[in-house]
Amino acid sequence: MARYGNAPNQSILVKGLKMAYRWLGPNVGIPVIHLVSFRATMSQIDPVSMNKIAEKRPVILFDNAAVGRSEGQVPTSYAGWSDYCAELIVQLGFNQVDVLAFSMGGCAAQMLALNYPALVHRLILIGSLPSIGPGVILPPPAPFQGIRMAHDHESQEAALLEFCFHSSDASQAAGRATFRRMLAARDDWSDLIDADSTRRQVQAFAKFMNPKHSSEGSFGRFDELRIPVLIIRGSHDYVFERQTCQAMARRMYNAAVSVYEFPDAGHAPHWQYPGGFAELVDSFLCAQDTMAVQDLPEKLGALDSWFRLDQ
């Protein structure tokens, strides 16, 4: 059974393009497909949580169009990103998947769940903004610039610490440990995407947050979701503010939604708490027809101050 460190790089034709992916875990069960964040490839993923999640179910990592080892051009809309993802799911022979998405990847995941509802069994969003709508707070631009300009390991680590982690000593230490895990996990590191692809990703985000294009976004359509949804944020995530998180959850009034906040964490709580995060994901995916996962406090004993947000 392949793990993050030894899963082979594979490719498959998606809309005529060669798309790279890795298959972790067993060959049976509903797979989890992971959509990564701004500029990220399959290399900017924490191996610890992915390996734990893959102990019980298949996990599919992939590079979307023009990312990492994949061909093509980055679409300038998240609906376009979701089109490639949906076709990848079909080409891999899956009838349904559980979707796990971080930050900008979650914007595409929202459109995937809305535009291809038959493919998405459950949806997990980490630090993922909805499109513009009532109660949605636009994130500050400065942290994005650090990620946008990062060009080597030193600048990538600095940007990651600023953008994805809280300023506390504990959170910063967790961030440095995360980056070390990423670098050490494999010997075939893929750099962040190039300047042109980055520009196109920024265009997709700008369109998503532009009121003139709100009809093409996710917020106004959240009532279409009728699946279990888990929204995760860090307590000090200034990109995905609590007000935005609550507005998003309330708009999903036809879905079974739970929102969990990890303490002393920034934009990437799943990297800061990989073990607890993996337990939370497992409990969510194993829950039967409900998001009332009553035993989570016991399973997440290391996170004494985690709590469920009131909706």
Q: Which amino acid is at 286?
A: C
Compute the distance between CA of residue 67 and CA of residue 208 in angstroms, rounded to an integer. Answer: 20
Residue 285 lies in a domain: yes
Buried b (16+ CB within 10 A) or exposed e, 214-223: eebbbbbbbe
Residue 180 lies in a domain: yes
Beta strands in the chain (DSSP E): 10-14, 17-24, 32-35, 59-62, 97-102, 120-126, 228-234, 256-262, 307-308
DSSP string covering 175-241: HHHHHHHHHHH-S---PPP-HHHHHHHHHHHHHHT-GGGGGGSSGGGGGG--SEEEEEEETT-SSS-
Residue 3 lies in a domain: no
- 293 within 8 A of 283, measured Cβ to Cβ: yes
Assign residue 83 the CATH number of its domain.
Answer: 3.40.50.1820
Distance set, CA 36 to CA 5, 67, 192, 305 (Å): 17, 10, 11, 27
Residue 178 lies in a domain: yes
User: Tell me, what's the pLDDT at 18?
Assistant: 98
Residue 1 lies in a domain: no
Residue 304 is classified by DSSP as: T
Residue 230 lies in a domain: yes
Q: Decide the pairing of beta strands 10-14 and 17-24.
A: antiparallel
- 232 within 8 A of 263, measured Cβ to Cβ: no
Cα torsion angle, 124, 126, 127, 128, sign: negative
User: Tell me, what's the pLDDT at 296?
Assistant: 47
Domain that holds residue 152: 10-308
Residue 4 lies in a domain: no
Q: Decide the pairing of beta strands 32-35 and 17-24.
A: unpaired
311 residues of the chain, pLDDT tens digit each: 999 999 999 999 999 999 999 999 999 999 999 999 999 999 999 999 999 999 999 999 999 999 999 999 999 999 999 999 999 999 999 999 999 999 999 999 999 999 999 999 999 999 999 999 999 999 988 878 889 999 999 999 999 999 999 999 999 999 999 999 999 999 999 999 999 999 999 999 999 999 999 999 999 999 999 999 999 999 999 999 999 999 999 999 999 898 899 999 999 999 999 999 999 999 999 987 554 444 444 444 444 444 444 43
Residue 241 lies in a domain: yes
- 46 within 8 A of 270, measured Cβ to Cβ: yes
Total of domains in the chain: 1
User: Tell me, what's the pLDDT at 289?
Assistant: 54
Distance set, CA 173 to CA 47, 146, 161, 272 (Å): 17, 19, 9, 9
Cβ-Cβ contacts under 8 Å for 204 (sequence gap 6 or more): 74, 75, 76, 77, 78, 80, 81, 104, 107
Helices 169-185 and 153-164, packing angle to 10 deg: 140
Q: Which amino acid is at 91?
A: Q
User: Tell me, what's the pLDDT at 223?
Assistant: 98
